[in-house]
C-alpha cells in the first residue's frame, strides 16, 4: 500500500459505494465477521508489533487494543439490525395526516486517522463503527508505531478489497495528501494541535469531522475514601501503557490533610505493580520515541519526586513517577503530560479544587473518588469534561453503551457502540403524508385561518 494512488482509491471507493453494496445489511455483517476473523488470525503478530513499538505488555495490548476491538465488533453484530432500521417519531397534530421517520444512512467514504499510543485499537474501533453504518473507509495509522502500522496494512490488504477499505502508510506528507481529498467524514484521534490542522483541511470541503483529542484530565480525591483502593486505582490508570493514554489521570488533587497518607499508599502500589525496579518489570511499557522521551524528561525538574524519576534514554524508559510540591503554574501543568509522571496538588475545599480544574481547558476525562453523593454530583454538574468515572479510572471508555468523546479543546463528536454508528450515519428525516384526504388549512386564501392555526398550535 505504500505506493497507492490516493486519488484512484477515492474514485474506486466512490464508485463502489454508489453501486450500493456497502449499504446492504448482509454485506456489512459479512465484513464485520471477516474483520474479526482476520484479527484473530493475526493476533500473535499484532501483539508482537505492539511489543516492538511500545514494549506494551501482552495483557495491556490484548485488553486495551485487540480485546477492545472484539467487544466493539460483537456489540455491533448484536445490535446492527436494530440500529439500521428506520425509526418512527411522533408527528404533530397540525401536520396530519402524516407520519414521520428517521432513516439512518451511510455517509459514503470516510477517512480515519489514528494515533500512536493505541495504534491498533484507535484505528480499528472507529473502522468497526464506519463499517456498521455502511461506509467505505480509508485508514491512516501513525508512522510513529511502524510495526503496528505495517501489521495493520497486511491485515487490511488480506481482508478487504481497496475499493471498500484501504490503508495508506506514511507520515505528514501522506496525511496532508489525504486531507486534501473530499471525504464524506473525517475521524481523527490525536493531539489538539493536529486536530486544528485536520479541522482547517476539512473546512475546505465542508466535511463533517469527529475529533478525539486530549487535555489535562484531573483526578479529584475527597477526604472520605478508602485510601488503599484509591491509590491502587489511580496508580493503575496513570501508569497503564506508561501513562500514554488520552484519558489517563493527568494530575491529582488531594485534600491537604490526606496528602501524606495518599502519597505513601501510591508508593506502595507502584512497588506492588512493578517491583523495586520497574525497569525490570515485564508489565511496564516504554515511551514511544526519543522526542517524547526528551519532552517528558524535561518535566522532571520541578516539584519534589516522591517516587520514581529514573530515566534511560537508550531504553526509552521513564520510571513511574509521582511528584509532590507542584503548583498550577508549574511547567508540568501547562500541557497534557502523556507519560508516566503524576503531579500531586493539594486543596483545602471542594470549591478550591473545582476552581483549579476550571483554570485549564475542558478535559477529555475527569475522575472523582468519594463516598459522598453530594461531592460526586457537584463534580458532574459543575465541571465540563468529556466523560469519566466515580471511584475508578479509564474504565468508562470500555463500555460500548457509553458515548466516548471530548468537549471543546478535548474534542468534538462521540463514538463506541450506537454512538459510533450514529457518527458515521446521516440521519435522513422523512415525512409521509396520506392522499386520502387533504386538510385545507395550509392553502390560500387564508381568510380567518390564522385564529384556527393558533388554536391548533396551542
* Tens of pLDDT, residues 229-287: 999 999 999 999 999 999 999 999 999 999 999 999 999 999 999 999 999 999 999 99
Residue 202 gets which letter from DSSP? Answer: H
pLDDT attached to residue 24: 97
Q: Are 107 and 426 in contact (CB under 8 A)?
A: yes
φ/ψ region of 216 (left if φ > 0, alpha if ψ in -120 to 50, else beta) reads beta
Q: What are phi and psi of 365, to 5 degrees?
A: -140, 160
Contact between 414 and 423 under an 8 Å Cβ cutoff? The reply is yes
125's enclosing H/E stretch is helix 121-133
Torsion of the alpha carbons at 23, 412, 178 and 4, rounded to the nearest 10? -50
Query: For residue range 437-452, what is the model confidence (pLDDT) as tens digits?
Result: 888 888 999 999 898 8
pLDDT at 3: 59
Whether 124 and 73 have beta carbons less than 8 Å apart is answered as no
Catalytic positions are: 212, 246
Report how far apart, in Å, the C-alpha atoms of 215 and of each of 72, 192, 193, 381 are: 25, 8, 11, 19
Spans of the chain, pLDDT less than 70: 1-3
**H/E segment holding residue 201:** helix 192-205
Angle at 147 between CA 143 and CA 150, to 5 degrees: 75
Q: Could you tell me the three cell numbers for 236?
A: 493503575
Classify residue 437 by burial, with Cβ atoms within 10 Å: 0-12, 13-18, 19+: exposed
- Alpha-carbon distances of 118 from 83, 209, 258, 281, rounded to whole Å: 27, 20, 34, 20
The Cα 269–Cα 273 span in angstroms is: 6
420 Cβ contact partners less than 8 Å away, ≥ 6 residues apart:
72, 125, 126, 128, 129, 130, 132, 133, 414
Q: Would you state the pLDDT for residue 2?
A: 46
Sign of dihedral through CA atoms 329, 330, 334, 340? negative
Alpha carbon distance 337, 326 (integer Å): 14
pLDDT of residue 258: 97
Distinct helix (H) and strand (E) counts, the chain: 16, 18
* Long-range contacts of residues 88-94, Cβ cutoff 8 Å, at least 24 apart: 91/431, 93/456, 94/441, 94/453, 94/456, 94/457
CA angle 195, 198, 200 (to 5 degrees): 110
Map residue 15 onto helix, strand or coil: helix
- DSSP 3-state of 29: helix
- Ordered domains of the chain (ranges, CATH): 6-213+407-430 (3.40.605.10), 218-398 (3.40.309.10)
Q: How many CA atoms lie within 13 A of 354 on its CB side?
A: 13
337 Cβ contact partners less than 8 Å away, ≥ 6 residues apart: 216, 243, 250, 251, 296, 299, 343
What do you get for the CA distance between the two ends of the chain, in Å? 61
Residue 42 main-chain phi, psi, to 5 deg: -100, 15
Opening angle at CA 401, ends 396 and 407, nearest 5: 55
Averaged pLDDT score across all residues of the chain: 96
Burial class (CB in 10 A: 0-12, 13-18, 19+), 277: exposed
388: part of which helix (H) or strand (E)? strand 387-390
Amino acid at each position: 500500500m505504500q505506493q497507492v494512488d490516493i486519488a484512484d482509491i477515492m474514485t474506486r471507493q466512490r464508485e463502489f459505494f454508489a453501486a450500493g453494496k456497502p449499504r446492504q445489511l448482509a454485506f456489512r455483517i459479512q465484513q464485520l465477521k471477516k474483520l474479526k476473523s482476520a484479527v484473530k488470525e493475526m493476533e500473535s503478530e499484532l501483539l508482537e508489533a505492539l511489543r516492538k513499538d511500545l514494549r506494551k505488555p501482552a495483557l495491556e495490548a490484548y485488553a486495551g487494543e485487540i480485546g477492545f476491538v472484539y467487544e466493539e465488533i460483537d456489540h455491533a453484530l448484536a445490535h446492527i439490525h436494530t440500529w439500521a432500521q428506520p425509526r418512527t417519531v411522533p408527528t404533530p397534530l397540525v401536520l396530519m395526516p402524516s407520519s414521520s421517520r428517521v432513516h439512518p444512512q451511510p455517509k459514503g467514504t470516510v477517512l480515519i486517522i489514528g494515533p500512536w499510543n493505541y495504534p491498533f485499537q484507535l484505528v480499528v474501533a472507529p473502522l468497526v463503527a464506519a463499517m456498521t453504518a455502511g461506509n467505505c473507509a480509508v485508514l491512516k495509522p501513525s508512522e510513529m508505531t511502524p510495526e503496528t502500522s505495517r501489521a495493520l496494512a497486511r491485515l487490511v490488504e488480506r481482508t478487504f478489497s481497496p475499493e471498500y477499505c484501504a490503508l495508506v502508510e506514511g507520515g505528514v506528507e501522506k496525511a496532508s495528501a489525504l486531507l486534501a481529498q473530499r471525504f464524506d467524514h473525517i475521524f481523527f484521534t490525536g493531539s489538539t494541535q493536529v486536530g486544528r490542522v485536520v479541522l482547517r483541511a476539512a473546512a475546505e470541503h465542508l466535511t463533517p469531522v469527529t475529533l478525539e483529542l486530549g487535555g489535562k484530565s484531573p483526578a479529584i480525591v475527597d477526604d472520605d475514601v478508602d485510601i488503599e483502593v484509591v491509590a491502587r486505582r489511580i496508580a493503575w490508570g496513570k501508569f497503564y501503557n506508561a501513562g500514554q493514554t488520552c484519558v489517563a489521570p493527568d494530575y491529582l488533587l488531594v485534600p491537604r490533610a490526606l496528602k501524606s497518607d495518599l502519597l505513601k499508599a501510591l508508593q506502595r502500589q507502584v512497588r506492588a505493580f512493578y517491583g523495586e525496579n520497574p525497569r525490570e518489570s515485564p508489565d511496564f511499557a516504554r515511551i514511544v520515541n526519543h522526542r517524547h522521551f526528551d519532552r517528558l524528561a524535561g518535566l522532571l525538574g520541578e516539584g519534589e519526586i516522591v517516587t520514581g524519576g529514573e530515566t534511560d534514554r537508550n531504553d526509552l524508559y521513564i520510571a513511574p513517577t509521582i511528584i509532590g510540591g507542584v503548583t498550577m503554574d508549574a511547567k508540568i501543568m501547562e500541557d497534557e503530560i502523556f507519560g508516566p509522571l503524576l503531579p500531586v496538588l493539594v486543596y483545602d475545599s471542594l470549591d478550591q479544587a473545582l476552581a483549579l480544574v476550571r483554570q485549564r481547558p475542558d478535559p477529555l476525562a475527569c475522575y472523582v473518588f468519594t463516598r459522598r453523593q453530594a461531592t460526586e454530583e457537584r463534580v458532574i454538574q459543575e465541571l465540563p469534561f468529556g466523560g469519566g468515572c466515580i471511584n475508578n479510572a479509564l474504565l468508562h471508555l470500555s463500555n460500548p453503551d457509553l458515548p466516548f468523546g471530548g468537549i471543546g479543546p478535548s474534542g468534538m463528536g462521540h463514538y463506541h457502540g450506537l454512538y459510533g454508528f450514529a457518527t458515521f450515519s446521516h440521519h435522513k428525516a422523512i415525512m409521509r403524508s396520506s392522499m386520502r384526504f387533504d386538510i385545507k388549512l395550509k392553502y390560500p386564501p387564508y381568510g380567518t385561518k390564522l385564529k384556527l392555526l393558533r388554536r391548533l398550535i396551542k
